[in-house]
Amino acid sequence: MISGFVFRALEGRIVAAVGILLGIGILVPALNLLTPPDSALHIPTYAMSLFGKYLCYALLALALDLVWGYCGILSLGHGAFFALGGYAMGMYLMRQIGPRGVYGNPILPDFMVFLNYKELPWFWHGFDWFVFAMAMVIVVPGLLAFIFGWFAFRSRVNGVYLSIITQAMTYALLLAFFRNDMGFGGNNGLTDFKDILGFSVQADGTRAVLFFMSALMLSLCLILASAIVRSKFGKVLVGVRDAESRVRFLGFRVENIKLFTFVVSAMMAGIAGALFVPQVGIINPGEFAPANSIEVVVWTAVGGRGTLIGPIIGAILVNGGKSFFTGAFPEIWLFALGGLFIAVTLFLPKGIVGTIQHGFKARKALKAAADAEKGRGDAAAVAQAQAAE
């Protein structure tokens, strides 16, 4: 049963993508750690962390694609789940600073001392324990998605209305996390991290492991997403996207189907956020900004929604392009980015991967038609030859 579920996931393209991801996950850290800094093959640590950040974005885009591309739920608030996962990781990292903070308080993080906190707020307890913090990375986004989805899907909020309330959700969280008395560092967020599991966050070795973990988690989530999409459940998902009422009248509980997918997706986004934070060294309320969530939609659309590889490629390409343009043409980079989005929407409505797949399918169909034609011609020739005899 379970083996069938996993086995179905390992279709050719997915295996190849996982192979490439894990290859990069090993090769990049190896080139960073094992080559001397003046070697042509050396990858500097900042570049590795930058690419590690792209991998986290790719995982976020994959999570969004699962709900948007396959289930038709356009979430404009997935950045919220990403940020919550990031905050859970950030809280762990804050507790690891211990007495090394500016104020030297062994229990309270610096910002709490500064804001005259007398004791640790109740929701900060447990976050000094790595396993607990990692559980919270998936539990908190999953729980929010569950509560949100429970009400939204049960009351059959659909389409653009759902998109608007997801946007409102992330905006509300943005405002809440900006407040100092929320206990999450307010405007400045959480930063100045020192250790993760006893290893320095700044060290090359730690960065290398974080990079590998990003590639690994992305691969595992890709396999999970593939298993879901290729199961009968995945076919029902596409059914919900294309003809929701038909699914309902076939006797499926559409609200449960959506809820499950939304929660799984939110958990993936949480993992992405947790891996993102130690690599960029900060988490602040800016991650809840509505524009961030909309950007995720753009990456997914550029790569190709409704394909599993597409959002990964889209996230890496768009963010890579963003980094390149901001460096090369700081004045016009926003225009270049805007131009790219317009071009993709106009000329590649299925996204990059979607267009390639469509092209392959069309070529295959053409070839099949040509073969059939040829086959018929041959058959006719044979018949004629037989008649002549």
Partner 1 sequence: MNTISETRQKSLLYLENVSVSFDGFKALNSLSFVVEPGELRAIIGPNGAGKTTMMDIITGKTRPDTGTVLFEDAIDLTKKDEADIAQLGIGRKFQKPTVFESHTVWDNLELALNRSRGVFATLFYTLSPEDKARIEEILETIRMTHRKNEYAANLSHGQKQWLEIGMLLAQEPKLLLVDEPVAGMTDAETAETAVLLKEIAKTRSVVVVEHDMGFIRELGVKVTCLAEGSVLAEGSIDFVSNDPKVIENYLGR
Q: Is 283 helix (H, G, I), strand (E, B) or coil?
A: strand
**Which of 129/360 has CB closer to partner 1?**
360
Q: How far apart are the first and last CA of the chain?
A: 58
367 binds partner 1 (CB under 8 A): no
**Which of 10/328 has CB closer to partner 1?**
10
155 binds partner 1 (CB under 8 A): no
**Which of 5/117 has CB closer to partner 1?**
5
String of contacts with partner 1 for each residue 58-97, x by CB under 8 A? ----------------------------------------
**Which of 124/153 has CB closer to partner 1?**
153
**Burial of residue 385, with CB atoms counted within 10 A of its CB: 0-12 exposed, 13-18 middle, 19 or more buried:** exposed
Residues from 210 through 269 that contact partner 1 (CB under 8 A): 228, 231-233, 235-236, 238-239, 242-243, 245-254, 256-257, 260
**Cβ 213 to partner 1, closest distance in Å?**
26
**Which of 200/256 has CB closer to partner 1?**
256
Cα–Cα distance for residue pair 95/198, rounded to 1 Å? 12
In sequence order, the β-bridge partners of residue 282 are: 191
Cα–Cα distance for residue pair 109/97, rounded to 1 Å? 8
In sequence order, the β-bridge partners of residue 283 are: 190
Phi, psi of 179 (to 5 degrees): -75, 135
**Cβ 368 to partner 1, closest distance in Å?**
12
Cα–Cα distance for residue pair 370/373, rounded to 1 Å? 5
**Which of 7/123 has CB closer to partner 1?**
7
Q: Which of 1, 40, 160, 388 binds partner 1 (CB under 8 A)?
A: 1
118 binds partner 1 (CB under 8 A): no
Question: 55, 214 in Cβ contact below 8 A?
Answer: yes
4 binds partner 1 (CB under 8 A): yes
**Cβ 66 to partner 1, closest distance in Å?**
13
**Cβ 231 to partner 1, closest distance in Å?**
5
For 32-49, the three-class secondary structure string (H helix, E strand, C coil) is: HHHCCCCCCCCCCHHHHH
Cα–Cα distance for residue pair 33/26, rounded to 1 Å? 11
**Cβ 217 to partner 1, closest distance in Å?**
21
**Which of 34/362 has CB closer to partner 1?**
362
Q: Which residues contact 276 (CB under 8 A, 6 or more apart)?
A: 53, 56, 57, 82, 86, 283
5 binds partner 1 (CB under 8 A): yes
Q: Residue 171: enclosing H or E segment and its boundaries?
A: helix 159-178
Residues near partner 1, by CB under 8 A: 1-2, 4-5, 228, 231-233, 235-236, 238-239, 242-243, 245-254, 256-257, 260
